Structure 1
Amino acid sequence: CPVCRSQLSGLKRNLDKFAELGVNVIAISSDNKERAIDTHAAWKLAELRLAYGLSLEEARNWGLFISKGIGETSIGIEEPDYFSEPGIFLIRPDQSLYFSTIQTMPFARPQWADVLNAIKVVLKKDYPARGEVE
Protein backbone atom coordinates (compact mmCIF):
# COMPACT_ATOMS: atom_id res chain seq x y z
CA CYS A 1 0.00 0.00 0.00
CA PRO A 2 1.18 3.58 -0.43
CA VAL A 3 1.29 4.10 3.33
CA CYS A 4 3.45 0.97 3.75
CA ARG A 5 5.80 2.26 1.07
CA SER A 6 6.13 5.63 2.77
CA GLN A 7 6.64 4.08 6.21
CA LEU A 8 9.27 1.61 5.02
CA SER A 9 11.10 4.30 3.04
CA GLY A 10 11.16 6.43 6.19
CA LEU A 11 12.44 3.49 8.18
CA LYS A 12 15.23 2.95 5.63
CA ARG A 13 16.25 6.61 5.95
CA ASN A 14 16.52 6.19 9.73
CA LEU A 15 18.41 2.88 9.87
CA ASP A 16 21.66 4.58 10.96
CA LYS A 17 19.86 6.32 13.83
CA PHE A 18 18.37 3.04 15.03
CA ALA A 19 21.80 1.38 14.79
CA GLU A 20 23.35 4.18 16.87
CA LEU A 21 20.85 3.28 19.61
CA GLY A 22 21.68 -0.42 19.37
CA VAL A 23 18.44 -1.37 17.63
CA ASN A 24 18.55 -4.05 14.93
CA VAL A 25 15.75 -3.41 12.45
CA ILE A 26 13.92 -5.97 10.35
CA ALA A 27 10.73 -5.57 8.31
CA ILE A 28 8.49 -8.64 8.29
CA SER A 29 5.87 -9.20 5.61
CA SER A 30 3.01 -11.63 5.22
CA ASP A 31 3.67 -11.51 1.47
CA ASN A 32 5.05 -14.60 -0.25
CA LYS A 33 8.72 -14.67 -1.28
CA GLU A 34 8.24 -13.48 -4.86
CA ARG A 35 5.93 -10.58 -3.99
CA ALA A 36 8.09 -9.50 -1.04
CA ILE A 37 11.34 -9.57 -3.02
CA ASP A 38 9.76 -7.74 -5.97
CA THR A 39 8.34 -5.04 -3.69
CA HIS A 40 11.62 -4.74 -1.76
CA ALA A 41 13.45 -4.10 -5.05
CA ALA A 42 10.80 -1.83 -6.62
CA TRP A 43 10.64 0.35 -3.51
CA LYS A 44 14.47 0.54 -3.36
CA LEU A 45 14.73 -0.85 0.17
CA ALA A 46 17.99 -2.79 -0.29
CA GLU A 47 19.45 -1.55 3.02
CA LEU A 48 16.39 -2.71 4.99
CA ARG A 49 16.48 -6.35 6.11
CA LEU A 50 13.32 -8.16 5.05
CA ALA A 51 11.61 -11.33 6.20
CA TYR A 52 8.56 -12.63 4.41
CA GLY A 53 5.96 -15.37 4.62
CA LEU A 54 4.52 -14.38 8.00
CA SER A 55 1.45 -16.59 8.23
CA LEU A 56 -1.89 -15.08 9.15
CA GLU A 57 -1.98 -17.38 12.18
CA GLU A 58 1.40 -16.13 13.39
CA ALA A 59 0.33 -12.53 12.69
CA ARG A 60 -2.70 -13.10 14.92
CA ASN A 61 -0.40 -14.56 17.60
CA TRP A 62 1.44 -11.21 17.59
CA GLY A 63 -1.88 -9.40 17.99
CA LEU A 64 -1.97 -8.07 14.44
CA PHE A 65 -5.29 -7.46 12.77
CA ILE A 66 -6.15 -9.31 9.56
CA SER A 67 -7.86 -7.59 6.63
CA LYS A 68 -9.51 -8.86 3.47
CA GLY A 69 -8.10 -7.40 0.27
CA ILE A 70 -10.33 -4.89 -1.52
CA GLY A 71 -8.64 -4.80 -4.91
CA GLU A 72 -6.09 -2.42 -6.32
CA THR A 73 -4.44 0.25 -4.19
CA SER A 74 -4.01 3.87 -5.24
CA ILE A 75 -0.50 3.05 -6.49
CA GLY A 76 -1.70 0.15 -8.63
CA ILE A 77 -0.78 -2.76 -6.38
CA GLU A 78 -3.29 -5.60 -6.08
CA GLU A 79 -3.94 -6.42 -2.43
CA PRO A 80 -3.63 -10.07 -1.37
CA ASP A 81 -6.85 -11.90 -0.51
CA TYR A 82 -5.97 -11.60 3.20
CA PHE A 83 -3.09 -9.81 4.90
CA SER A 84 -2.00 -8.49 8.28
CA GLU A 85 -2.26 -4.84 9.15
CA PRO A 86 1.00 -3.27 10.36
CA GLY A 87 2.59 -3.30 13.75
CA ILE A 88 5.84 -2.13 15.31
CA PHE A 89 7.52 -4.27 17.96
CA LEU A 90 10.55 -3.43 20.07
CA ILE A 91 12.02 -6.67 21.37
CA ARG A 92 14.62 -6.73 24.14
CA PRO A 93 17.88 -8.68 23.77
CA ASP A 94 16.36 -11.37 26.05
CA GLN A 95 13.59 -11.77 23.40
CA SER A 96 10.88 -10.27 25.62
CA LEU A 97 8.48 -7.67 24.27
CA TYR A 98 9.22 -4.13 25.44
CA PHE A 99 6.93 -2.05 23.22
CA SER A 100 4.36 -2.61 20.53
CA THR A 101 1.89 -0.63 18.51
CA ILE A 102 -0.59 -2.26 16.18
CA GLN A 103 -2.87 -0.76 13.56
CA THR A 104 -6.37 -1.71 12.48
CA MET A 105 -6.05 0.54 9.43
CA PRO A 106 -3.15 1.64 7.26
CA PHE A 107 -3.50 5.26 8.42
CA ALA A 108 -2.06 7.31 11.33
CA ARG A 109 1.07 5.25 11.90
CA PRO A 110 3.73 6.27 14.41
CA GLN A 111 6.44 8.53 13.02
CA TRP A 112 10.00 7.21 13.17
CA ALA A 113 11.27 10.37 14.87
CA ASP A 114 8.81 9.71 17.71
CA VAL A 115 9.89 6.08 18.00
CA LEU A 116 13.57 7.09 18.03
CA ASN A 117 12.95 9.74 20.70
CA ALA A 118 11.07 7.21 22.83
CA ILE A 119 13.98 4.76 22.59
CA LYS A 120 16.39 7.52 23.66
CA VAL A 121 14.27 8.22 26.76
CA VAL A 122 14.06 4.51 27.56
CA LEU A 123 17.83 4.12 27.33
CA LYS A 124 18.65 7.32 29.24
CA LYS A 125 16.24 6.68 32.12
CA ASP A 126 16.27 2.87 32.08
CA TYR A 127 12.51 3.22 31.76
CA PRO A 128 10.61 0.04 32.68
CA ALA A 129 8.24 -1.74 30.33
CA ARG A 130 4.57 -0.92 30.89
CA GLY A 131 1.45 -3.00 30.37
CA GLU A 132 3.18 -6.09 31.73
CA VAL A 133 0.59 -6.95 34.41
CA GLU A 134 -1.54 -9.94 33.42
Structure 2
Amino acid sequence: MQNDIQTLIPRQPVPDLTLPLVGGGEWSLTNEAPDTFSILIFYRGWHCPVCRKQLEEAEALVEQFEQKGAKLTAISVDGEDRAKEMHASAKLDKLKLAYGLTLEQARQWGLFISTSRGLTSVNVEEPIKFAEPGFFLIKPDNTLFYSSVQSAPWGRPALEPFLNTIDFIVNKNYPARGEIITLD
Protein backbone atom coordinates (compact mmCIF):
# COMPACT_ATOMS: atom_id res chain seq x y z
CA MET A 1 0.00 0.00 0.00
CA GLN A 2 1.32 3.41 -0.96
CA ASN A 3 1.55 6.13 1.69
CA ASP A 4 0.73 9.43 -0.01
CA ILE A 5 0.57 11.63 3.10
CA GLN A 6 2.67 14.74 2.66
CA THR A 7 4.81 16.18 5.42
CA LEU A 8 4.84 19.95 5.61
CA ILE A 9 8.09 21.50 6.78
CA PRO A 10 8.27 24.68 8.89
CA ARG A 11 9.68 27.69 7.02
CA GLN A 12 8.67 26.11 3.70
CA PRO A 13 5.68 27.10 1.50
CA VAL A 14 2.40 25.34 2.17
CA PRO A 15 0.03 24.19 -0.60
CA ASP A 16 -2.29 26.91 -1.81
CA LEU A 17 -5.98 26.50 -1.18
CA THR A 18 -8.97 28.18 -2.77
CA LEU A 19 -12.37 27.03 -1.51
CA PRO A 20 -15.97 28.25 -1.42
CA LEU A 21 -17.31 29.83 1.77
CA VAL A 22 -20.60 29.25 3.51
CA GLY A 23 -22.59 32.39 2.83
CA GLY A 24 -21.05 32.89 -0.60
CA GLY A 25 -17.80 33.96 -2.07
CA GLU A 26 -14.47 32.28 -2.13
CA TRP A 27 -11.61 31.99 0.33
CA SER A 28 -8.01 31.79 -0.85
CA LEU A 29 -4.97 31.33 1.34
CA THR A 30 -2.89 33.35 -1.11
CA ASN A 31 -5.27 36.31 -0.76
CA GLU A 32 -5.52 36.20 3.06
CA ALA A 33 -2.68 38.70 3.68
CA PRO A 34 -2.75 38.61 7.51
CA ASP A 35 -0.48 40.85 9.55
CA THR A 36 0.76 37.90 11.63
CA PHE A 37 -0.81 34.53 10.72
CA SER A 38 -3.48 32.75 8.77
CA ILE A 39 -4.83 30.19 11.22
CA LEU A 40 -6.37 27.16 9.53
CA ILE A 41 -8.58 24.82 11.51
CA PHE A 42 -9.23 21.67 9.50
CA TYR A 43 -12.21 19.92 11.06
CA ARG A 44 -13.79 16.51 10.46
CA GLY A 45 -17.22 17.75 9.41
CA TRP A 46 -20.79 18.36 10.49
CA HIS A 47 -21.02 14.84 11.92
CA CYS A 48 -18.43 15.57 14.62
CA PRO A 49 -19.58 16.99 17.98
CA VAL A 50 -15.95 17.65 19.03
CA CYS A 51 -15.52 19.78 15.89
CA ARG A 52 -18.67 21.72 16.66
CA LYS A 53 -17.31 22.57 20.11
CA GLN A 54 -13.96 23.64 18.62
CA LEU A 55 -15.67 25.87 16.05
CA GLU A 56 -17.84 27.45 18.74
CA GLU A 57 -14.63 28.21 20.68
CA ALA A 58 -13.06 29.69 17.53
CA GLU A 59 -16.17 31.80 16.87
CA ALA A 60 -15.85 33.38 20.32
CA LEU A 61 -12.19 34.26 19.67
CA VAL A 62 -12.29 35.57 16.07
CA GLU A 63 -12.16 39.25 17.03
CA GLN A 64 -9.36 38.72 19.56
CA PHE A 65 -7.28 36.93 16.93
CA GLU A 66 -8.01 39.72 14.46
CA GLN A 67 -6.65 42.21 17.03
CA LYS A 68 -3.43 40.16 16.94
CA GLY A 69 -3.33 40.41 13.13
CA ALA A 70 -4.40 36.79 12.65
CA LYS A 71 -7.20 35.51 10.43
CA LEU A 72 -9.08 32.31 11.35
CA THR A 73 -10.62 29.98 8.79
CA ALA A 74 -12.25 26.58 9.39
CA ILE A 75 -12.09 24.05 6.55
CA SER A 76 -13.60 20.62 5.88
CA VAL A 77 -14.27 18.12 3.13
CA ASP A 78 -17.99 18.60 3.72
CA GLY A 79 -20.07 19.68 0.77
CA GLU A 80 -22.09 22.88 0.85
CA ASP A 81 -25.20 21.42 2.51
CA ARG A 82 -23.30 19.81 5.39
CA ALA A 83 -21.13 22.93 5.83
CA LYS A 84 -24.29 25.03 6.08
CA GLU A 85 -25.62 22.62 8.73
CA MET A 86 -22.41 23.05 10.76
CA HIS A 87 -22.54 26.81 10.30
CA ALA A 88 -26.10 26.91 11.64
CA SER A 89 -25.68 24.37 14.44
CA ALA A 90 -22.49 26.01 15.77
CA LYS A 91 -24.04 29.49 15.35
CA LEU A 92 -21.10 30.83 13.35
CA ASP A 93 -21.36 34.51 12.37
CA LYS A 94 -17.71 35.66 12.37
CA LEU A 95 -15.67 32.52 11.66
CA LYS A 96 -15.05 31.90 7.97
CA LEU A 97 -16.22 28.39 7.10
CA ALA A 98 -14.74 26.96 3.90
CA TYR A 99 -15.90 23.67 2.44
CA GLY A 100 -15.22 21.29 -0.41
CA LEU A 101 -11.64 20.38 0.49
CA THR A 102 -10.75 17.33 -1.58
CA LEU A 103 -9.17 14.27 -0.03
CA GLU A 104 -6.13 14.90 -2.24
CA GLN A 105 -5.81 18.42 -0.84
CA ALA A 106 -6.19 17.03 2.68
CA ARG A 107 -3.29 14.66 1.99
CA GLN A 108 -1.17 17.57 0.69
CA TRP A 109 -1.65 19.17 4.11
CA GLY A 110 -0.62 15.95 5.88
CA LEU A 111 -4.09 15.21 7.22
CA PHE A 112 -5.18 11.68 8.06
CA ILE A 113 -8.19 10.24 6.22
CA SER A 114 -10.83 8.06 7.90
CA THR A 115 -13.79 6.04 6.69
CA SER A 116 -17.36 6.11 7.90
CA ARG A 117 -18.42 4.17 10.97
CA GLY A 118 -22.07 5.15 10.55
CA LEU A 119 -24.02 7.49 12.78
CA THR A 120 -22.21 9.62 15.34
CA SER A 121 -23.37 10.51 18.85
CA VAL A 122 -25.21 13.52 17.39
CA ASN A 123 -27.10 11.18 15.04
CA VAL A 124 -25.38 12.42 11.87
CA GLU A 125 -23.98 9.99 9.33
CA GLU A 126 -20.23 10.20 8.78
CA PRO A 127 -19.18 10.71 5.15
CA ILE A 128 -17.73 7.67 3.38
CA LYS A 129 -14.28 9.29 3.73
CA PHE A 130 -13.25 12.46 5.52
CA ALA A 131 -10.18 14.26 6.84
CA GLU A 132 -9.19 14.17 10.49
CA PRO A 133 -8.36 17.45 12.31
CA GLY A 134 -5.39 19.70 11.77
CA PHE A 135 -4.35 23.13 13.04
CA PHE A 136 -1.87 25.36 11.23
CA LEU A 137 -0.29 28.77 11.71
CA ILE A 138 0.76 30.12 8.33
CA LYS A 139 2.97 33.22 8.03
CA PRO A 140 1.97 36.04 5.64
CA ASP A 141 4.48 34.70 3.07
CA ASN A 142 2.49 31.41 3.10
CA THR A 143 5.19 29.40 4.83
CA LEU A 144 4.45 27.02 7.67
CA PHE A 145 5.12 28.27 11.19
CA TYR A 146 3.30 25.65 13.29
CA SER A 147 1.23 22.54 12.71
CA SER A 148 -0.66 20.00 14.75
CA VAL A 149 -2.32 17.05 13.04
CA GLN A 150 -4.50 14.46 14.76
CA SER A 151 -5.48 10.95 13.68
CA ALA A 152 -8.66 11.07 15.77
CA PRO A 153 -11.09 13.75 17.00
CA TRP A 154 -9.25 14.29 20.31
CA GLY A 155 -6.04 16.03 21.27
CA ARG A 156 -6.51 19.28 19.39
CA PRO A 157 -4.66 22.36 20.63
CA ALA A 158 -6.75 24.78 22.69
CA LEU A 159 -7.17 28.01 20.75
CA GLU A 160 -7.15 30.64 23.48
CA PRO A 161 -3.49 30.12 24.53
CA PHE A 162 -2.45 30.99 20.97
CA LEU A 163 -3.53 34.59 21.59
CA ASN A 164 -0.55 35.06 23.96
CA THR A 165 1.60 32.81 21.79
CA ILE A 166 1.19 35.19 18.85
CA ASP A 167 2.38 38.08 21.04
CA PHE A 168 5.40 36.05 22.14
CA ILE A 169 6.27 35.06 18.57
CA VAL A 170 6.01 38.64 17.31
CA ASN A 171 7.71 40.33 20.28
CA LYS A 172 10.63 37.88 20.41
CA ASN A 173 10.85 37.41 16.64
CA TYR A 174 10.62 33.71 17.48
CA PRO A 175 11.41 31.49 14.48
CA ALA A 176 9.44 28.52 13.21
CA ARG A 177 10.97 25.36 14.64
CA GLY A 178 11.31 21.84 13.24
CA GLU A 179 12.79 22.89 9.90
CA ILE A 180 15.61 20.30 9.85
CA ILE A 181 14.88 17.69 7.17
CA THR A 182 18.05 15.62 7.21
CA LEU A 183 20.34 14.76 10.12
CA ASP A 184 23.59 15.37 8.21
TM-score normalized with structure 1 length: 0.95
CA distance in 2: counterparts of 1:77 and 1:46, whole angstroms: 22
Q: Find the partner of 2:110 among 63, 66, 80.
A: 63
Contact 2:132 2:151 (8 Å CA) reproduced: yes
Matches within 5 A, 1:11-22: 11-22=58-69
2:150 counterpart of 1:103: yes
Q: Which has the higher helix share?
A: 1
CA distance in 1: counterparts of 2:89 and 2:80, whole angstroms: 14
CA deviation after TM superposition for structure 1 residue 47, in Å: 1.4
Letter in 2 for 1:55: T
CA distance in 1: counterparts of 2:63 and 2:136, whole angstroms: 18
CA distance in 1: counterparts of 2:165 and 2:112, whole angstroms: 24
Long gaps (5+) in structure 1? none
Letter in 2 for 1:123: V
Structure 1 segments of 4+ aligned residues over 6 angstroms from their partners? none
Letter in 1 for 2:107: R
Deviations 1:42-87 (A, max 9, x none): 2211211111000011101100000111111111111111100010
2:52 counterpart of 1:5: yes
CA distance in 2: counterparts of 1:67 and 1:6, whole angstroms: 20
CA distance in 2: counterparts of 1:71 and 1:7, whole angstroms: 22
SS of equivalent residue, structure 1 residue 24? strand
Q: Find the partner of 2:119 among 72, 75, 83.
A: 72
Q: Alignment length, in residue pairs? A: 134
Greater relative contact order (Cα 8 A, min sep 6): structure 1 or 2?
Answer: 2
Q: Percent of aligned positions with the same letter in both sequences?
A: 49
Q: Which has the higher strand share?
A: 2
